[in-house]
């Protein structure tokens, strides 16, 4: 995407609600006559700076000249963690980060006279890092858009800028979710101009992006703006995705104290005036711990969505029962925890497992039960394991982290959505290329499908390593883009069928651990999702979470 403007073939000028824009053309390598137009870095909101820094977004102002939208917009402010030099292709800019991208096939489809189905991608990164630029444009055009779908990706405020909260009207939090909602409203108002159908929108995302997809589904402010959802490796039922407003407000004040705030705890107005005056770089956070900052809340993430009484006017458990009818596709990778365990170095001993449990299961959520839960989980994951068997210890630690962060929440989400009457398709992504891990191959205790592995087979771009697909990878790309585009078009990953011979069955309450295993040479239905470990969690852990029981 780094070509000079002089070498770019321009796409047709399009009229948006804020003004005219011009993009760039991508010719498909398989057929040079087929063109996909990319409109990149389109502003959808006014700059969230000054007094607007911690406020809800405002629709972008009008412009009079044709705006060139040829390159991705800047990232929202964040610290550069985890191999940032390999994945970040744009700079950071608080003022101009609220942009979106439209990747639109120029051709028409007789099957879709009202316009092509629209797929809106919400990026992950722990609500703290990454941007839409990490996931590509040309690769999306040749992998996904060729399936007759139009693709949109969005930026939203992250970290302190997106989720700081006083739990009062001074700053109720969830600015990042309001950004996502305004971007989805932009899609409703403008996507027909690009050849898309605003009545057939699917939102999908991975990790924190998957959690965002689910949280947007819960909120009455946003859940009318799309028809289908694909939360991948993350949802609102995952512990990392949500915090009580009291817990988030306490963490926010602790962070302000760390930066030098000396006011009273109840001086919300003074605190927010002080926060607005802080330089952007002082407020940047990432996934890694900020040196010297310690907070009282459980988990590794700082600033996340909260039950604020505004974006979520009722408790999420109540809103879950009031969601308009949606089609749902959701799932995990086989070894979700592998990526995180390798980076955290928890996998080498039983002591590492104890250290992890002590960090995650704390009194703030579990009260006096915290120690009991730590002990029960330790025994569950270390039973029948030789303390000298580091290979097995690593696998158990990967299971523990994956279950805590992703697997159990995803299973419970599929169950709850199915129980509420939504059409649900549950998957487990098992395929991996053993040569596809880049530098991470040196720190992984073993190789397998892990967090982010599946993204490259949908969007065509690796997140933590470059993607040079081999023959089997190309087969998986064809398989995954077919499943995802079919779901976006028809609400069924099998395609337009009568349901009698579907390879991928709907999720069933009667057999809730049955799932679709995505693998080569052939994907198939299977039993015992993630070895049914969610049964233990739901009996031994879930009922004791005192804060979650109030949500």
For the annotated catalytic residues, the residue numbers are 207, 336, 451
**CA 149 – CA 381 distance, rounded (Å):** 43
Nearest to 76 by CA among 92, 60, 87: 92
Count helices and strands (H / E) in the chain. Answer: 18, 16
CA distances (Å), 413 to each of 153, 236, 238, 329, 408, in order? 24, 8, 9, 11, 8
Location of structure tokens 């489809």? 109
**CA 92 – CA 349 distance, rounded (Å):** 39
Nearest to 120 by CA among 5, 251, 231, 11: 231
Angle between helical axes of 370-382 and 533-540 (0-180°, round to 10):
160
**CA 534 – CA 409 distance, rounded (Å):** 9
Going through 234-299 in order, the beta strands assigned E by DSSP cover 243-244
- 86 alpha carbon, distance to own chain's centre: 20
Strands lying side by side in the sheet with 524-526: 24-28, 31-43, 99-105, 150-154, 116-122, 196-206, 228-232, 327-333, 423-429, 515-518, 524-526
**238: number of Cβ within 10 Å:** 24
Ramachandran category for residue 365: left, alpha or beta (phi over 0 → left; psi -120 to 50 → alpha): alpha
DSSP state of 420: T
CB 123 within 8 A of CB 134: yes
**97: number of Cβ within 10 Å:** 27
Location of structure tokens 């049914």? 532
**CA 389 – CA 42 distance, rounded (Å):** 53
Which tokens belong to 286?
């990432």
Q: Which residues pair with 375 in a beta bridge?
A: none
Nearest to 413 by CA among 540, 310, 542: 542
Helical (H) or strand (E) element with 34: strand 31-43
CB 306 within 8 A of CB 174: yes
Going through 288-364 in order, the beta strands assigned E by DSSP cover 306-307, 327-333
CB 392 within 8 A of CB 519: no
**Long-range residue pairs from 52-59, CB within 8 A, at least 24 positions apart, any chain:** 53/94, 53/161, 53/275, 53/276, 54/161, 54/164, 54/171, 54/175, 54/272, 54/275, 54/276, 55/175, 56/175, 56/178, 57/98, 57/175, 57/178, 57/179, 57/182, 59/17, 59/18, 59/182, 59/186
CB 464 within 8 A of CB 86: yes
**461: number of Cβ within 10 Å:** 18
């Amino acid at each position: 995407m780094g070509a000079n403007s002089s070498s770019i073939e321009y796409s047709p000028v399009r009229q948006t609600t804020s003004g005219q824009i011009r993009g760039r053309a991508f010719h498909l390598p398989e057929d040079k006559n087929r063109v996909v137009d990319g409109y990149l870095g389109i502003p959808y909101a006014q700059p969230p700076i000054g007094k607007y820094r911690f406020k809800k977004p405002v629709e972008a102002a009008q412009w009079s000249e044709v705006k060139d939208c040829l390159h991705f917009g800047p990232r929202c402010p964040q610290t550069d963690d985890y191999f940032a030099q390999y994945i970040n292709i744009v700079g950071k800019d608080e003022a101009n980060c609220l942009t979106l991208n439209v990747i639109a096939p120029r051709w028409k489809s007789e099957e879709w006279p009202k316009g092509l189905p629209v797929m809106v991608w919400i990026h992950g990164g722990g609500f703290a890092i990454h941007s839409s630029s990490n996931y590509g444009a040309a690769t999306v055009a040749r992998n996904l858009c060729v399936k007759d779908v139009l693709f949109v990706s969005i930026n939203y405020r992250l970290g302190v800028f997106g989720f700081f909260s006083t739990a009062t009207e001074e700053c109720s939090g969830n600015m990042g979710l309001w950004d996502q909602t305004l971007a989805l409203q932009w899609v409703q108002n403008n996507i027909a101009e690009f050849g898309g159908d605003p009545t057939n929108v699917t939102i999908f995302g991975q990790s924190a992006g998957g959690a965002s997809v689910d949280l947007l589904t819960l909120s009455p402010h946003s859940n009318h703006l799309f028809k289908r959802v694909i939360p991948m490796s993350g949802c609102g039922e995952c512990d990392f995705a949500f915090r009580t407003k009291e817990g988030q407000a306490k963490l926010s004040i602790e962070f302000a104290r760390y930066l030098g705030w000396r006011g009273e705890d109840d001086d919300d107005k003074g605190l927010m005036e002080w926060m607005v005056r802080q330089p952007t770089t002082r407020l940047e956070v990432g996934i890694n711990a900020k040196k010297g900052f310690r907070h009282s809340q459980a988990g590794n993430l700082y600033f996340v969505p909260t039950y604020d009484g505004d974006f979520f006017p009722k408790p999420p458990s109540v809103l879950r029962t009031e969601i308009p009818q949606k089609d749902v596709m959701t799932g995990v990778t086989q070894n979700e925890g592998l990526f995180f365990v390798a980076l955290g170095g928890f996998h080498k001993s039983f002591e590492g497992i104890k250290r992890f449990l002590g960090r995650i299961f704390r009194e703030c959520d579990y009260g006096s039960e915290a120690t009991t839960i730590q002990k029960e989980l330790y025994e569950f994951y270390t039973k029948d394991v030789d303390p000298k068997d580091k290979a097995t210890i690593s696998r158990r630690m990967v299971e523990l982290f994956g279950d805590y962060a992703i697997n159990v929440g995803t299973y419970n989400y599929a169950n709850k959505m199915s129980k509420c009457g939504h059409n649900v398709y549950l998957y487990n992504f098992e395929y991996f290329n053993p040569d596809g891990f880049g530098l991470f191959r040196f720190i992984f205790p073993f190789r397998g499908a892990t967090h982010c592995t599946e993204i490259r087979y949908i969007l065509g771009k690796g997140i933590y390593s470059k993607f040079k697909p081999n023959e089997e990878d190309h087969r998986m790309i064809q398989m995954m883009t077919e499943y995802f585009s079919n779901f976006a078009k028809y609400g069924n990953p099998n395609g337009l069928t009568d349901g009698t011979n579907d390879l991928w069955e709907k999720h069933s309450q009667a057999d809730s651990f049955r799932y679709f295993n995505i693998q080569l040479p052939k994907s198939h239905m299977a039993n015992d999702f993630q070895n049914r470990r969610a049964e233990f969690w739901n009996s031994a852990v879930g009922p004791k979470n005192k804060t979650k029981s109030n949500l």
